[in-house]
Structure 1
């Protein structure tokens, strides 16, 4: 888990690296924590930005909720990574393990239940982790995602900055870990539909939204072809992709067409096995 300046340079532009150095020198990093290989921090710029990196992953899997849409990582991520080069935060994993080992089971259960009762996102991830299939439909999930677009700039309905879709990608990933591919496909499809239908309101951070759309579409195709399915489910997926080729977002049509071709190819490979 050693991290070097050269490794940081590899994931960003030279100018961004220099700005990240200045941010670190100016003391803009706050509330930095590490649990195992995951580092989270708050970095102050024009506002406070949440940053996350994984020191054990190639490229560090960086995430930041700033509006940067240039090549590579942003200056906030670079600043956090450079802090980890010079002065890595202490790993709090052992402290958490010790606290969990010493916690009373009934108190821990009561605490978890209270948190689950008030945090819907945490509740969804918890149910996915323990093997429960999703009870939410594509439309129900879409409503929550669409709301993020509406809340970003409610007066003009124009989106200038990135929207954080992490909770839905994390939820889909949790279902995949549990082998619940149909549930994961439901989450990915909600993301695909919402991003497709709201893309014309985007007026900034295009790379951020394009990456989210591609990630969701790829995840949808992978999960549908992996899940146990009947003929109706396969037909529904094909019709969905073909319908979206004539989407209201013309420049995304080719992505749906490519996904439909990939879907058929995967189905053909599976039928030959």
Structure 2
């Protein structure tokens, strides 16, 4: 979508828009990069916050690791978007393409191999891209997600700031694009379980965590329903959702109950086709 002041105003409150303008004018935006439709930047406030927006999507799909918990986007996101309105950084996509095209295949293979050996996130997404099903269980994935909660605020049990779950959603989406719905469902369920179990320790950025939970739960239902008419997978998933409604975070019970109903309806629709 076009990056205009009006489009930015549509995703935030008037007060946040004014603060975002001030942050832009004060030169608080650092390390801003633009590749294809993605823009990333660091914005200084009480500390330095990481911001990511997608200029090609409605609403810009903003993400920031600040503790803002109000309606719409935060001032850091607004500042970055307004910078893009005024003076968008050059798109580095063509530069990357040229570098890739000019790199020897063996050299590129060696570089990628080295990076895959040490970067587990990249390795998981690469294996998903080339069609490999996940070898990780829900519990194994959950352990890694739970660790993010532990590391966010190690001195206290309470979590005050957003956690970036992008790597897990990207991994699930990669599996979905490859038609590996069972693998995608495994990732989504790990997210759902971790968010459910850790939600009561959240004390800030409620919209962020609630949105992540809803996105993961919707993805889980869609992918289980798409697992090639696997009746056992559907039955197991409905049992999990019903159990979570009974024993999970109380204010999420209604979401689990609705998800169980939706999954049953989706499965019935597919069986009738």
Give, in angstroms, the shift of residue 8 of structure 1.
0.5
Give 1:42-121 correspondences, 5 Å limit. Answer: 42-121=42-121
Give unmatched runs, 5+ long, in structure 1: none
Determine if contact 1:17/1:75 at 8 Å carries over to the other structure.
yes
What is the number of equivalent residue pairs in this alignment? Answer: 273
Q: RMSD of aligned C-alpha atoms? A: 1.0
Determine if contact 1:196/1:247 at 8 Å carries over to the other structure.
no
Cα distance in 2 for partners of 1:267, 1:234 equals 7
Structure 2 counterpart SS, 1:97: helix
Structure 2 counterpart SS, 1:245: helix
Cα distance in 2 for partners of 1:270, 1:159 equals 41
Give, in angstroms, the shift of residue 173 of structure 1.
0.8
Q: CA offsets, 1:115-163, max 9 Å, x none?
A: 1101101100111111111000000000001111112223331111111
Cα distance in 2 for partners of 1:112, 1:22 equals 41
Please name the residue that 1:123 is paired with. 123
Structure 2 counterpart SS, 1:246: helix
Cα distance in 2 for partners of 1:226, 1:173 equals 14
Determine if contact 1:225/1:267 at 8 Å carries over to the other structure.
yes
Please name the residue that 2:208 is paired with. 208
Determine if contact 2:189/2:220 at 8 Å carries over to the other structure.
yes
Cα distance in 1 for partners of 2:230, 2:120 equals 31
Give unmatched runs, 5+ long, in structure 2: none
Structure 1 counterpart SS, 2:179: coil
Cα distance in 1 for partners of 2:46, 2:27 equals 14
Please name the residue that 1:143 is paired with. 143
Give, in angstroms, the shift of residue 178 of structure 1.
0.9
Give, in angstroms, the shift of residue 23 of structure 1.
0.4
TM-score normalized by the length of structure 1: 0.98
Determine if contact 1:67/1:162 at 8 Å carries over to the other structure.
yes
Q: Which moved more, 1:40-49 or 1:209-218?
A: 40-49
TM-score normalized by the length of structure 2: 0.98
Give 1:145-224 correspondences, 5 Å limit. Answer: 145-224=145-224
Cα distance in 1 for partners of 2:230, 2:35 equals 42
Give, in angstroms, the shift of residue 205 of structure 1.
1.2
